[in-house]
């Protein structure tokens, strides 16, 4: 039997594409070798945010007196925190499965192997399709550090299921994942050290705000070793030893546990990608057009394999674009679509949160683009002051010479919930004057944008 769409990978890109295609009435088969939801739902975005919310609740309880609320004997139960995380994941995975089956998507559990651009083999059965969408996601990258194979370290997977609180933790990598786990364990009272090769944490985010977040966490006890290279790892009864070099300096950090968090790499092997003669970049990323189509007209790629943006929400949008393109070809619809990366928001769910969309000052300066930076304290928002006693943050907006919005960056809760307003302004190419005319609810933290403009 020949199907209309075959999709490899059940993560945000894969299940979004499957649901959209199924809802449109197409005959869809979705292949997933592990659990629906992919890394994001099972061992990434959702479980980490569940843990972080428990940590944030614990933090708030400890400091409730700032809001004239007395809470005595505040404590936490890590095994129960982990159990709640698992319950949330199970509930959402079942939700994804329900939506797919409701839209008549055939779900096949197993390792899919591409035979050619119209055929996939899985569990000994051959599936033929008019179109293939590849959404294989990414894996944790472990750098070839001397001794790394001889020590017992965590990746995000082990950290998410750990039920015992270590006394100390070294994190190699100060990116998003590293900082979120640092925030969680710091809230639980763990001594955390972050070793980062770059000159600032959260590479790619606004450096000024990243430095402010780092300073805040340094006051809470996290030690940061920036511009520092890890040159060796060893382990004995005293703990795990991380040897580092920084220019002419050298040293060693010893902790009970080690978390490797230096980044992720797209999954390119194990599913027969080499059987397709599709164009790639020098780094091995799949080249796609603005409809997510590869050099083979009936093969589409969404998510981490493209190398554009390794974020779940980007992958979901790419999947929508790919399905719209397929529907246009199969059903002759007028619903054309194209992918835009102009306004992809990024969020770090620390406490406080930091969120960013569009250009950074560093990138604009690097490319010689003229801009104006407007920066206001979050205390300009009445709602923020009411809910953040003794805490401040920053909102930064970058304007082009014609006053259109180039970028927006926020340090302060709830940055993750209001950054979408800036995303819309950038995507729609609104000027500062046009954005100011939008009516914001009062009081709301989102009014900070209007205050800045």
Q: Where are the domains of the chain?
A: 2-140+265-331, 148-262, 346-452
Residue in 313, 328, 403, 442 annotated catalytic: 442
pLDDT(297) > 80: yes
What local confidence, expressed as pLDDT, does residue 201 receive?
Answer: 98
Instruction: Tell me the three state secondary structure of residue 114.
Output: strand
How many Cα atoms occupy the beta-carbon half-sphere of 5 within 13 Å? Answer: 35
pLDDT per position as a tens digit, 346-357: 999 999 999 999
CA–CA gap between residue 273 and residue 313 (Å, rounded): 24
pLDDT(359) > 80: yes
The reply to whether domains 2-140+265-331 and 148-262 share a CATH topology is yes
Average pLDDT over residues 363-378: 97
- Give the DSSP H/E element, type plus range, for residue 299: strand 299-301
Instruction: Tell me the three state secondary structure of residue 297.
Output: coil
Helix 78-102 / helix 45-62 crossing angle, nearest 10 deg: 140
How many Cα atoms occupy the beta-carbon half-sphere of 432 within 13 Å? Answer: 19
CA dihedral 6, 11, 17, 18 (to 10 degrees): 60
pLDDT per position as a tens digit, 245-290: 999 999 999 999 999 999 899 999 999 999 999 999 988 899 999 9
Specify the CATH superfamily of domain 2-140+265-331.
FAD/NAD(P)-binding domain (3.50.50.60)
What local confidence, expressed as pLDDT, does residue 443 receive?
Answer: 97
The token duo for 395 is 């909102």
SS in 3 state form for 42-109? HHCHHHHHHHHHHHHHHHHHHCHHHHCCCCCCCCCCHHHHHHHHHHHHHHHHHHHHHHHHHCCCEEEE
Tell me the fold of 346-452. Enolase-like; domain 1 (3.30.390)
Average pLDDT over the chain, rounded to whole?
95
Which of these, 313, 314, 308, 353, lies nearest to 205 by C-alpha position? 353
pLDDT(333) > 80: no
For residue 118, indicate whether it is catalytic: no
Average pLDDT over residues 57-67: 95
Burial of residue 391, with CB atoms counted within 10 A of its CB: 0-12 exposed, 13-18 middle, 19 or more buried? middle
Specify the CATH superfamily of domain 148-262.
FAD/NAD(P)-binding domain (3.50.50.60)
- pTM of the model as a whole: 0.95
């Amino acid at each position: 039997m020949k199907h209309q769409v075959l999709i490899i990978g059940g993560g945000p890109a894969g299940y979004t594409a499957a649901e959209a295609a199924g809802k449109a009435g197409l005959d869809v088969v979705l292949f997933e070798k592990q659990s629906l939801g992919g890394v994001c739902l099972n061992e990434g975005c959702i479980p980490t945010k569940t843990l972080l919310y428990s940590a944030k609740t614990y933090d708030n309880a400890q400091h409730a007196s700032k809001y004239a609320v007395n809470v005595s004997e505040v404590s936490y139960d890590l095994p129960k925190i982990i159990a709640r995380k698992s319950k949330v994941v199970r509930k959402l995975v079942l939700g994804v499965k329900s939506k797919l089956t409701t839209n008549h998507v055939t779900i096949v559990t197993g390792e899919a192997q591409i035979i050619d651009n119209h055929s996939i083999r899985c569990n000994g059965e051959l599936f033929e399709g008019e179109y293939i969408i590849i959404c294989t996601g990414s894996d944790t990258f472990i750098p070839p550090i001397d001794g790394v194979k001889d020590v017992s370290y965590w990746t995000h997977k082990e950290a998410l299921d750990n039920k015992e609180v270590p006394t100390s933790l070294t994190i190699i990598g100060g990116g998003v994942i590293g900082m979120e786990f640092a925030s969680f364990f710091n809230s639980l009272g763990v001594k955390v050290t972050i070793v980062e090769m770059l000159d600032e944490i959260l590479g790619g985010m606004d450096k000024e705000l990243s430095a402010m977040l780092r300073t805040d966490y340094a006051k809470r006890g996290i030690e940061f070793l920036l511009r520092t290279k890890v040159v060796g790892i060893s382990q004995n009864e005293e703990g795990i030893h991380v040897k580092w070099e920084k220019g002419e300096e050298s040293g060693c950090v010893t902790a009970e546990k080690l978390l490797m968090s230096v980044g992720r790499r797209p999954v390119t092997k194990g599913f027969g990608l080499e059987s397709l003669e599709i164009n790639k970049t020098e780094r091995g990323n799949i080249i796609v057009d603005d409809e997510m189509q590869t050099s083979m007209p009936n093969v589409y790629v969404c998510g981490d394999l493209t190398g554009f943006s390794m974020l779940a929400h980007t992958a979901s949008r790419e999947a929508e674009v790919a399905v719209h393109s397929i529907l246009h070809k199969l059903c002759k619809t007028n619903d054309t679509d194209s992918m835009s990366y102009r306004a992809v928001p990024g969020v770090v769910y620390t406490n406080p949160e930091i969120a960013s969309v569009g250009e950074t000052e560093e990138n604009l300066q690097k490319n010689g683009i003229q801009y104006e930076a407007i920066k206001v304290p979050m205390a300009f928002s009445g709602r923020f002051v009411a809910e953040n006693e003794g805490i401040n943050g920053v909102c930064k907006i970058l304007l082009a010479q014609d006053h259109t919005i180039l970028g927006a960056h926020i340090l302060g809760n709830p940055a993750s919930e209001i950054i979408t307003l800036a995303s819309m302004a950038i995507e729609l190419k609104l000027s500062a004057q046009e954005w100011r005319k939008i009516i914001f609810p009062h009081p709301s933290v989102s009014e900070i944008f209007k205050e800045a403009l």
